[in-house]
Structure formats: structure tokens, C-alpha cells
Amino acid sequence: MPDGLGRGLDAPLFERVVIIGVGLIGSSLARVARRKNLARTIVACDRSAAVRERVVALGLADETYEAPAEAVRGADFVILCVPVGACGGVAEQMKEGLAPGVIVSDVGSVKQSVVNQVAPHLPENALFVPAHPVAGTENSGPDAGFATLFKGRWCILTPPGGSDAATDRVRAFWEGAGSNVEVMTPAHHDLVLAITSHVPHLIAYNIVGTAADLEEVTQSEVIKFSAGGFRDFTRIAASDPTMWRDVFLNNKDAVLEMLGRFSEDLTALQRAIRWGDGDALFNLFTRTRAIRRSIIDVGQETAEPDFGRRKVDEA
């Protein structure tokens, strides 16, 4: 029996999926595409020989390539899993190898910049559906991926031309990977992610750097006394520096807007502490606690107090 996309239930969604860049996201996509029969042939492309060797050793792909133009030949779905700032260059390198009707997507956490970089390099008969899986860990590389990374997480699609058949196929791919899918404009995506992801990462990088630079506190003491709050900031601050450098440079307008609002709210909080306004502090903390609980209620986090740290049996 065919599904809503006109394929048999046992047939793969795509014939030949090319994943360019095999880090955490790319390797996780390769794993879930294999497990969920989302592609008949999985092709991995990475400029690093060491990464390609690991792809082969881990059995993540049927074929591996160094050059994007060679990797994408005959593909019906190409996913750019490279840092945001590299998307335009990769698109230019692969354009000569793209087949008519191929769907091109990405996984970047900034969308308007990716559209501006990639779209000019694509042939007219290529279909462009940018995507952002809102999932990840602080780890990177082909060994860091796992097939359930996207399960229950959101994937945001930002097709420049709105919803169409290509968008439906990309939606089906991500739903097959376990994601919940939402469609919005690139500009709206960038504003939302600036406050939900980009600014929190920037704050984490900053607070960890500030603590490490304090002359009154030695580095050993920062590590020794890293209680819950600081410890969890360090997890975020361990994220891939190349990826996050590109995120901030390519979404700077939205990030600066959100940083301005954050600074204003921080000043108000500073004033409340200075003047002993306990009611203001209590009201803020009560409201934000409710927001944290709502994140748990919608399944984007668990109520575990250890923030995912591995449990050990008590002696």
C-alpha cells in the first residue's frame, strides 16, 4: 500500500541521500536514515580524510567522497551539514553535479543567511528547502552521532517559496527521523532562535570566560567548586566553536536585538537586588520557574534534577 507520498511502505523515501559534513548532525542523520529506511543509498561527503575514514569504519554510508560535486551526482536529496558560514562555498562547489529536480536542504541554526548564501548557486531546476533540527549535544564528530538524536525534537523548515511538494518530502524525512516539524519564514526563525538558543549560548560562553578570568579565583578553584549552575553553563560552552562563531556572525542583527532586550532586563534585575526589592525578585523567579516547567510539559526536557548526567549506584 502506498503512503501519502506515493511510495510503498517498504520503499525508501529517497533513492540517494547525500550528507555533506559528517559531524554530530550529519552522522546522526546517516544513522537514522539507515535505521528508518529513509534512503536507499547513503552518501557521505567530507573534506577531512580522518572523518571519511571514521565514516567507513563506523559503516555510516554506502559511499564516501571528498569533493561535493562528485558526491551529489545522481542524488535526489542533498543535506548540507556544515557550519553556516561554509554553506555558500559548498553550494558553489556542488552546483555542477546537481541533477534536475534534486532537493537541497541544510541543518543550520541560522536560516536567512543560508538562503542568501545558497540560493544564488543552485540551478533553476533544483528545489531548496532549508531546515533546522533543534537538537544537539556539546559533542562533535562522526562518533558523536546517534540515531535517536532527533526523536521528539522540533525541526523547523523555512522554504523560501512556501509550502510545496518538495517541502512535504523534506517534512516526511524529518518526521521519519522522529522530529516534530514546523514551517516558518527564515526571518521569523532567526528571531525566535536568537533568544531560545543563540543568546543562551553566548551568555554561557561569557560567564564561563568571566569566571576563568577572575584574578581572585584560581582555575583549580573554579573547577573544584563548579556547583550546578556553573557546571551546566560549561556544558553549553563546550559546543563546537566554529559552528557558534558562524551562528553569531550570520545572525548578528537578531542576536544584537535580543541582547539589547536581555541587557535591559538584567539592569532591572540589578536594580531590584541593589534596592532589596524582594517582591520583584520573587515574582520574576516564580514566572521563570513556570516557563521551565512548561518546557518539561511539552516534552523538550525531563524533570530529572541531574540535567542528563549519568547516574551511578550509591555505595
Q: What is the pLDDT of residue 299?
A: 55
Between 235 and 206, name the one with better pLDDT. 206
The three grid cell numbers given for residue 58, joined into one nine-digit string = 563506523
Other CB atoms within 10 A of residue 260 CB? 10
How many whole angstroms separate alpha carbon 206 and alpha carbon 297? 30
Q: Is the pLDDT of residue 207 over 90?
A: no
Q: What is the pLDDT of residue 303?
A: 52
C-alpha angle 45-108-170 in degrees, rounded to nearest 5: 75
Q: What is the mean pLDDT of residues 36-58?
A: 97
Give the per-residue pLDDT at 223: 67
| Mean pLDDT calculated for residue range 204-208 | 81
Q: Which residues pair with 54 in a beta bridge?
A: none
SS (H, E, C) the chain: CECCCCCECCCCCEEEEEEECCCHHHHHHHHHHHHCCCEEEEEEECCCHHHHHHHHHHCCCCEEECCHHHHCCCCCEEEECCCHHHHHHHHHHHHHHCCCCCEEEECCCCCHHHHHHHHHHCCCCCEECCEEECCCCCCCCHHHCCCCCCCCCEEEECCCCCCCHHHHHHHHHHHHCCCEEEECCHHHHHHHHHHHHHHHHHHHHHHHHHHHHCCCCCHHHHHHCCCHHHHHHHHHHCCCHHHHHHHHHHCHHHHHHHHHHHHHHHHHHHHHHHCCCHHHHHHHHHHHHHHHHHHHHCCCCCCCCCCCCCCCCCC
Q: Locate cell 570566560: which residue?
A: 209
pLDDT digits (tens, 9 = 90+) for 230-258: 777 777 777 778 887 888 888 888 889 88
Flag the least confident range among 2-6, 58-62, 289-293.
2-6
How does residue 131 score in pLDDT terms, banded at 50, 70 and 90? very high
Looking up cell 579565583 gives: 217
CATH architecture of the domain formed by 14-184: 3-Layer(aba) Sandwich (3.40)
Cell readout for 60 is: 555510516
Confidence band for 315, pLDDT divided at 50, 70 and 90 = very low
The answer to whether 259 and 205 are in contact (CB under 8 A) is no
pLDDT of the residue at 5: 60
Question: For the CA atoms of 188, 192, 198, 201, what is the dihedral angle to 10 degrees?
Answer: -170
- Note the pLDDT of residue 99: 94
pLDDT in tens, 266-282: 898 899 899 999 998 88
Provide the b/e sequence for 142-152 (b: ≥16 CB within 10 Å): bebbebebbee
Q: pLDDT tens for residues 216-230? A: 666 566 666 666 677
pLDDT value at residue 301? 53
| Residues with Cβ within 8 Å of residue 184, at least 6 apart in sequence | 156, 157, 158, 192
Residue ranges of the domains in the chain?
Answer: 14-184, 188-275
Q: Whole-model pTM?
A: 0.78
Spatial distance between the Cα atoms of 208 and 240, rounded to a whole number of angstroms: 15
Q: Rounded CA gap, 287 and 170, in Å? A: 37
Least confident range of 66-75, 127-136, 257-266: 257-266
What residue has cell string 552518501?
43
- Residue 8, sorted as left (phi over 0), alpha (psi -120 to 50) or beta, turns out to be beta
What distance in Å separates the CA atoms of residue 211 and residue 296, rounded to the nearest whole number? 29
| pLDDT number for residue 287 | 81
Measured CA angle at 186 (ends 197, 16), to 5 deg: 95
pLDDT at 10: 75
- To which CATH superfamily is domain 188-275 assigned? 6-phosphogluconate dehydrogenase C-terminal like domain (1.10.3660.10)
Q: Mean pLDDT across the stretch 44-49? A: 96
Place of cell 532591572: 268
Phi-psi region of 37 (alpha: psi -120 to 50; beta: other; left: phi over 0): left
> How much is the mean pLDDT over the chain?
85
Confidence of residue 36 (pLDDT cuts 50, 70, 90): very high
